[in-house]
Amino acid sequence: MSTAVVWFRKCLRLHDNPALSHACSDPSIDSLLPVFILDPSATGPSFENLGSARLRFLIESLADLDHRLKSKYGGKLLIAQARPLAVFENLVRGHRPGIGLVSSDYCSEPSGRSETAVIQKFFGKHSPKTDVRFHPSTNTLFDLEKTIASPVYKNPKSMRQMESLASSIFGLDGSGFLQLPEPLAEPRGMPPHPEGIGIDSHRSSSFSFHTVRALKQELSSKGFLTPTICTVPFVGGETEALARMKKKVSSQPAFVNAFRKPRTSSTNSPNDPIEPSTTGLSPYLSTGCLSARRIWKEVDHCNRQSNHTKPPESLHGQLLFREMFYLLSRSVVNWDQEDGNPMCKPIDWGDRDEEKLLAWEEGRTGFPYIDAMMRQLETTGWMHHLGRHAVSCFLTRGQLWQHWKHGRDVFGRKLLDSDWALNNANWLWLAGVAPFSMPYFRLYNPCPDGKSSLNVETSTANFIKFWVPELKNFPPRFIYEPHLAPVYVQKKAQCLIGSDYPNPIVDRKKSAKENITKFKLSLAA
């Protein structure tokens, strides 16, 4: 008897899952153990590294994966709270005649690569007959290691370079479309769960297995899973991911073919302040509930039906940006740091200001657009890309002059689509310190109007009124700069600025001018 352990890492799905497909198709495998590992070094011992929305989304995704394994194959997902090495040490020690295969997905971030190396070394020493596979191109379109190892590879810094790289790797068909491999179908069958491995079989001082249901109950009892104040737009899991893709992409070729990311509204759908004006698929890509190849092919199918937009603004362009940042994160040393990072200009950001940082994070800066975006992030774990641009610029080179790493860490905890490669890339970009950044002196106005490139809705201002309810009675013409409203307007709206809602934390024009000068001086130093 030979058992395969399928270690779900950043691929919480059945479709287009090379690790699962490999284990299910290997004729030497008699039983299969699906495992997900909650590593305290990543989540924090008390899940302090995951915001409430992000933790909720992860648990929902695991519950959906468990349900799909049960309903389709009669399997079940076991969850371990421990370091991965401890889990595999116990499995090897407690399972005889042995584990024939460990199949998982490749992770590109430093911690993921280190983890991979530790597991490979362990099995090489203690169980050399075990086949250990970490499948590439599971979370990305490109095989990152193979691509950057090419002698002709150069770090891409533009969409044109990315398109050229993609064409050289995948080739083009007669119609000029990239010839990406087809996504893998869900396995037709799965070997049964191994006998003797279950919830009670591995209880020790180092770790124990949990069911998803038991884990959810434990987290709820400890207050880690808190109820939301509104219906959130994202429910975790492959089931919801496929449904959203069908609703937003597959069934809307006209929307897909006309899609221009910079023209979408940062204040969400006009009649729904919590529903994105974009596809809203990024959380499902980040957690691996949806395959990048699968969505590429769905967009591809729409694009073949009629004229369509092109990268960088198109949906294909957004996926190529994602690949570019993954490649850079793997090939650029110290990608998440300022020192020793060749793609980060050294800027003197000064001392950390806790008061400013906390006001920004909690959405009480006195700038309603900024505050609405940050409150939306806290509740739902999501924010439109233009909103991210605005709050990032505001925190760094725009108004507050705080180091980009402080904002990155907040986004890392709270965003559903948080990703080490992309999060660092976006903050390098928006802080103005990367080669691919916009000019540092081009700032977003934190008090936008209807003509702003932030694409805000101004006729009703429903987005602001929903997320900043203190201003729900304010006339839309004053709502983006309520401190300028006459006192009689404030009284009528039952919201006195400085009392019921804060005054602006800084003078936006004065601070912007000062910060542009600081940035220029840092570059010249």
Cβ contacts of residue 388 below 8 Å, gap of 6+?
373, 411, 426, 430
DSSP-assigned states of every residue in 293-343: HHHHHHHHHHHTTS----TTTSHHHHHHHHHHHHHHHHHSTTTT-STT-TT
Q: What is the pTM assigned to this prediction?
A: 0.95
Closest CA to 370 of 387, 353, 352: 387
Residue pair 49/134 in contact by the 8 Å Cβ criterion: no
pLDDT for the residue numbered 246: 98
Helix or strand or coil: residue 209?
strand
Task: Kindly state whether residue 338 falls inside one of the protein's structural domains.
Answer: no
Total domains in the chain come to: 3
Asked if residue 314 and residue 295 are part of one domain, the reply reads yes
Looking at residue 46, its pLDDT comes to 87
Query: Do residues 151 and 107 both lie within one domain?
Result: no
Intervals of the chain under pLDDT 50 = none
CATH number of the domain bearing residue 68: 3.40.50.620
Question: According to the model, what pLDDT value does residue 95 have?
Answer: 67
CA 142 to chain centre: 18
Judgement on whether residues 287 and 304 belong to the same structural domain of the protein: yes
**Three-state DSSP class for 105?**
strand
Torsion over CA of 500, 506, 507 and 510, rounded to 10 degrees?
180
Domain containing 239 — which CATH number?
1.25.40.80
Q: Which residues pair with 131 in a beta bridge?
A: 101
Residue 156 lies in a domain: yes
Flag whether 35 is in a domain. Answer: yes
Report how far residue 240's alpha carbon sits from residue 19's, in angstroms, rounded to the nearest whole number.
22
Kindly report, residue by residue over 46-82, the tens digit of the pLDDT. 899 999 999 999 999 999 999 999 999 999 999 999 9
Using the 3D structure, point to which of 193, 221, 249 is the last residue of a domain.
221
Q: Which of 221, 256, 284 is the last residue of a domain?
A: 221
Tell me, yes or no, whether 72 and 133 share the same domain: yes
Residue 111 lies in a domain: yes
Domain extent for 480: 354-524
Give the Å distances, CA to CA, from 487 to 7, 167, 209, 458, 506.
61, 60, 61, 21, 20
**Is position 280 within any domain?**
yes
What's the pLDDT score for residue 134? 98
> pLDDT at position 198, please?
64
Give CA 307 to chain center in angstroms.
30
On whether both 238 and 372 belong to a single domain, the answer is no
Check whether residue 377 and residue 514 sit in a common domain: yes
- Asked if residue 238 is part of any domain, the answer here is yes
Can you say whether residue 479 is alpha, beta or left, with left for phi > 0 and alpha for psi between -120 and 50 degrees?
alpha
Give yes or no: residues 382 and 512 share one domain.
yes
Task: Give the other-Cβ count within 10 Å of 220's Cβ.
Answer: 13
Same domain, yes or no: 465 and 478: yes
- Count helices and strands (H / E) in the chain: 21, 6
Q: How far apart are CA 283 and CA 274, in angstroms?
A: 15
Residues 6 or more apart in contact with residue 16 via CB below 8 angstroms? 183, 184, 291, 293, 294
Residues 94 and 159 in one domain: no
Within this chain, do residues 251 and 369 fall inside the same structural domain, yes or no? no
Q: Is 290 a member of any domain?
A: yes
Which contiguous run of DSSP H or E holds residue 79?
A: strand 78-81
Same domain, 132 and 251: no
What is the C-alpha separation between 179 and 165, in angstroms, rounded? 13
Please tell me whether residues 390 and 307 are part of one structural domain: no
CATH of residue 468: 1.10.579.10
Let me know if residue 107 belongs to a domain.
Answer: yes
pLDDT tens-place string over residues 77-130: 999 999 999 999 989 887 666 799 999 999 999 999 999 999 999 999 999 999
Domain end point (choices 273, 300, 331): 331
